[in-house]
Amino acid sequence: MAGMNDKKVLTREEMQAFDRKAIGQWGVPGVVLMENAGRNAFMVAMEMLERASGQGVAVLCGGGNNGGDGYVVARHLLRVGVPVRVYTAVDPERLKGDARTNMKIWRTLGGAIIPIQASEFIAAAASDWAGCALIVDGLLGTGFSGTVRSPLDEVIRIVNALDGPKVLALDVPSGLDCNTGRAEGETIRADRTVTFAARKVGFDAPEAHQYTGEVILVDIGVPCR
């Protein structure tokens, strides 16, 4: 599924510049880029489900565009009849832009959004996650650096402790610095990371593989240059 730029490696700042160029100079709406990213991630999720045990998918969404990608993945899973639930670590009403658009589409289709913004909600959700075939990590994206704060640190710790589900990270595992490949605190340990438009420079750090798992590059509908 890798695109024509499978050897391109970018920093977070270069990725941000690429997004601005795609939207501002080439005229591709951000919601189109998000749709392309999410749909390609959905295809990777379907490949993982073919070899997974358990039932259904849990999509964990944060407050940025990574969360928006998660809503796209969830919608496509719903479209093909895969049992899927969305869990949000932020108030969905706080979402903006393209992420908000995709959250609203999910709601319009009848999709539930389950809060995981406090410990009691996280504990209740964790019992559901344990029986899933796949967990999709859309909590934090390439803009993240530093140490993951509460409640996301608790969510990540629980996900990493689960034995059954496979884990698919969207663009970058939550908690991993995509520039350095280092993890300063709790960080998702994914079986696969589906990354968008270009590999991130931090993926080549020796310690990054334990978090990214297999990295799969997919395109978002425009050439990365």
CA-CA-CA-CA dihedral for 92, 31, 195, 203, to nearest 10: -80
- Cβ(61)–Cβ(138) below 8 Å: yes
Q: What is the mean pLDDT of residues 86-114?
A: 96
Structure tokens at 165: 């589900």
pTM over 0.85: yes
Q: What is the mean pLDDT of the chain?
A: 93
The domain ranges of the chain are 9-218
Q: What pLDDT sits at residue 6? A: 54
* Domain at 9-218, CATH from 3.40.50.10260, 1.10.10.10, 2.60.40.10, 3.40.50.150: 3.40.50.10260
